[in-house]
Amino acid sequence: MGNSYVGAKQTTLEQSVVMTGVGVHSGAPVSITLHPADAHSGINFLVVSDGRDVEIQAHCDFIENLTLCTVLGSDCGAEVATVEHLMSALRGLSIDNVMVEIDNGEVPIMDGSAMPFVRAIEEAGIAELDAPRRFIKILKPIRVEEDGCWGELLPYNGFRIEVEIDFETPAIGRQKFSSDMNPGIFREELARARTFGFMADVEGLWAAGRALGASLENTVAIDNDTVINREGLRFEDEFVRHKALDAVGDLALAGSPLLCSYKSYRGGHALNAKAIKTLLADSDAWTYVDVPSVPATVTEHHNEGRGAALLAAANYAADRN
Ligand SMILES: [Zn+2]
């Protein structure tokens, strides 16, 4: 799998693509359409609320709720739920601008991983736009903590994820995933990792009318320290890979791709969101870096005077797979 679409220019889709499935929380059928969008527009959700169209920007300023999944909302009460795996696929494949039209309030859960979204994006095709990609470059470390969990955003010439989890159940235990991220690595190492849950929790949620669409078709379920899905796991350490997939999607709510290394210990959506919000609230901690529209090799050899930020961006653009 080549990485030709990780470059200095912004991307969108070549054409629209439709996906259908069920909402993991509503259990209701839902259809989404990913549409091409203009440069600098970012990822936006188009939902119908009270009979009119409302756009909700995929940005951490619009996070409404993180209890069971990531819910984004607008001032007028419109909401879109379970955006995290779609956001992960878009960021993972370096897609900057897409309008996501959604007919029923929740992104479908599909198989619980990001792979169905990856396939849909690849089916639509990826188009380069005539605008430089804009990164958020981390200038100083940001650390957040919560109940023995922590997350750190560190300056880095690229985009790297280091996630560690530690569960009591021997079905998961202690697992760590560390890797630089680019579309090839995302697709091969993370995209297929499914969400997971514990049967004891699921039964409680069902009783409360939540997680109505959750099933063994879209969740790795653990009961009495055993994975009960008949097909077993897709990776021996599928759990931590899914946590890394979630982190890619949660960090995408910064609104622009990051030049950073993100480390987390026992993290989840809430911790990841807190890290991004803390970063963006500290204007000394980051800056925007545009990537000039020249090939990385030219940048490296002939523009040395233009600074480390530019080299960092070029480094990120290099095909490392
Ligand atoms: Zn997830």
Q: What is the pTM of this model?
A: 0.89
pLDDT in tens, 241-265: 999 999 999 999 999 999 999 999 9
pLDDT in tens, 214-231: 889 999 999 999 999 999
Ligand 1: centre distance to CA 165 (Å): 14
pLDDT in tens, 114-173: 999 999 999 999 999 999 999 999 999 999 999 899 999 999 989 999 999 999 999 999
Residues 135-290, CATH architecture: 2-Layer Sandwich (3.30)
> In this predicted structure, what is the pLDDT of residue 292?
52
Ligand 1: centre distance to CA 72 (Å): 15
Ligand 1: centre distance to CA 292 (Å): 34
Ligand 1: centre distance to CA 320 (Å): 26
Residues with catalytic annotation?
A: 269
| 104 pLDDT above the threshold of 90 | no
Q: Measuring CA to CA, which residue among 135, 161, 141, 156 is closest to residue 255?
A: 135
Which residues are close to ligand 1, an ion, with C-beta < 5 A? 195, 246
| DSSP secondary structure letter of residue 23 | -
Q: Mean pLDDT in the chain? A: 88
> In this predicted structure, what is the pLDDT of residue 310?
40
Tokens of 142: 């940001």
pLDDT in tens, 181-227: 999 999 999 999 999 999 888 888 888 888 888 889 999 999 999 99
What is the pLDDT averaged over residues 15-37? 95
Domain(s) labelled CATH 3.30.230.20 in the chain stretch across 9-133
Tokens of 109: 């859960």
- CATH fold of 9-133 reads Ribosomal Protein S5; domain 2 (3.30.230)
Ligand 1: centre distance to CA 314 (Å): 30
Q: Residue 70 — very low, low, confident or very high, per pLDDT cuts 50/70/90?
A: confident
Domain(s) labelled CATH 3.30.1700.10 in the chain stretch across 135-290
